[in-house]
Amino acid sequence: MNAYVGIDLGTTNTKVSVVTKNGVEKIYRLQTYKKTIENVEFFDVDRIEEAVRKTLKTIRESYRIVGIACTSVGESVVPVKSGKKLHDPIVWYDTCTKPLYEEYHDLVNRLAPYKVSGSRDIYYYSLYKILYMQRNGIVEPDKVEHWLPVSSYIAYRLTGNAVWDMTQAYRSHMVDIHRRCWNEELLKAFNIPIEQLGKLDYTSSFVGHHDDVPVFLAGHDHLTGTYGLISLFGSELIFDSMGTASYTVGVATEKNNEFHFESSFMKTGGNIGIAFQDRQYYLASGMRFYGKLIELALKMIGLRFSSKRFQRLNESISEIPTSCAFYIYANGDNIVGEGVDGVNFAQILPDCSQEQILQTVYLYLSYASRITVETLHRLLGSLPIVLGGGLVENKIFMKYKASMLGEPLYCLNTTELTALGAAIAAIKGSRDEDTLQSLREKITFQRIEPHPQDVLRMNELYERMNEQYEKILRTRGGQ
């Protein structure tokens, strides 16, 4: 049977999805290997590639692969030459680049302002990873043939061709989102030749062949999941992708330069990036700690997601609370933005129970989601919200979230939407409309409907949380 393979190289795990006309046939879950060198964390791309190739070989035993696409986390970039890596890439979240960000922040802001970059300057962008690897002698600049995001590196190793997906280029902070090209002035200031970055193209573009199998482009993981959704069901939706981090995205096509913003559409950020065709943009806001924050809370109280004790604790908080036990704000959220370090618990009492800790984490994440969704609704109109990511399986958290947002939420009958999005990129690239139509018929949505009484209770909580966060922000501003 003919099959398309979507590879999703995530922060913790790599998922390989096998998709046919019958839907998602199989999902292989692999470890995303990392290693630490002198306190800096790197992806171990040799081990990752070996695991991917081994999985492709296994798939070939049962299917005829007719298309492959790979999506991945953003920001991490691999220096390559003559078909091989020169070094492993720095993991996207590593803070080793913060000193460089502080050193060059003013220059970068001048050469890549929001109206060009669509984003505020952040330390983990690819630009700073390139500068770090050059300055610390990890690579010699003139020895690099190409810098490639991890998703493009896998395609490069399979085909020998170097191509950046537009959605990954956006995460580099080195691209002009409106002209859809590299920011020449910025690159010149940092002595990065444009040819070292290479060709830009849209998701589902043809890259090359691997053993006679066509390989197609896919990009940033959250955006590739979005691409899969709008390919199946149209662009009139908001996609809330919930993984280790989160990204909430709406897609729209510009008519009269209405998305040529001079400044951020949210006070703490709000990104506008390149989507999947000319004049199409995505508007989004992310949170650096999402599923990771739940993991942190469970670690604090000695539990794991997979444990029965967690399941019992989760069930015990199924009723929506009437108050918030304490308040959370974190680096990169849409409450305080980049103005803090790490995760902060405010007004927490020493006798706070396990139930209260988990409830408060759910409330914080749901509250932050509402801030973003309400902003996107104002800009794009009232659109249905589709959820993706492993957290969809946490029914209690989904109840909190639907109640806080005050509307039904939809999720597909597959948790690995990003890997499916990569497979759909291959299907679209192959122009296989029959398989695409078959998927539309077979992939269904589950509807999460909030109870009206829970919505009322969450609205009251939302107002109280607004008041408390305003006080916290005023207090921090006065320090």
Question: What pLDDT score was predicted for residue 478?
Answer: 46
Quick one: 349 exposed, middle or buried, by C-beta within 10 A (0-12, 13-18, 19+)? exposed
* Ordered structural domains, the chain, with CATH: 2-221 (3.30.420.40)
pLDDT of the residue at 477: 61
* Alpha carbon of residue 332 to chain centroid: 13
Q: What is the mean pLDDT of the chain?
A: 93
Cβ 46 vs Cβ 32: under 8 Å: no
Quick one: 191 exposed, middle or buried, by C-beta within 10 A (0-12, 13-18, 19+)? exposed
CB 271 within 8 A of CB 249: no
Residue 224 to residue 232: CA distance in whole angstroms: 13
What is the spatial distance between Cα 28 and Cα 70, in angstroms, rounded to a whole number?
A: 14
Residues in the chain: 479
Q: pLDDT tens, 113-124?
A: 999 999 999 999
Q: What is the pLDDT of residue 43?
A: 98
Exposure string over 288-326, b if 16+ CB within 10 A, otherwise e: bbbbbbbbebbeeeebeeeeeebeebbeebeebbeebbb
Chain segment 402-447, per-residue pLDDT in tens:
999 999 999 877 768 899 999 999 999 999 999 999 999 988 888 9
Q: How many CB atoms lie under 10 A from the CB of residue 463? A: 10
Strand order through the sheet with 146-149:
84-85, 77-81, 146-149
| Bridge partners (DSSP) listed for residue 412 | 445
> Which pTM value belongs to this model?
0.85
Q: How many CA atoms are closer than 13 Å to the CA of 357, on its beta-carbon side?
A: 21
Q: Structure tokens of 177?
A: 């989102």
Give per-10-residue mean pLDDT for the chain (479 aa).
Answer: 96 95 94 96 97 97 97 97 97 96 97 95 96 96 96 97 98 97 97 95 98 96 92 87 87 90 86 95 90 92 88 95 93 84 92 95 96 92 87 93 96 82 97 95 89 96 95 72
Q: Are 9 and 152 spatial neighbours (Cβ–Cβ below 8 Å)?
A: no
pLDDT of residue 472: 86
Alpha helices in 406-445 (DSSP H): 417-429, 433-442
Task: Quickly count: other Cβ atoms within 10 Å of residue 354's Cβ.
Answer: 18
Which residues, listed in sequence order, are joined to residue 7 by a DSSP beta bridge? 16, 70
The closest of 241, 275, 276, 219 to 70, measured between CA atoms, is 219
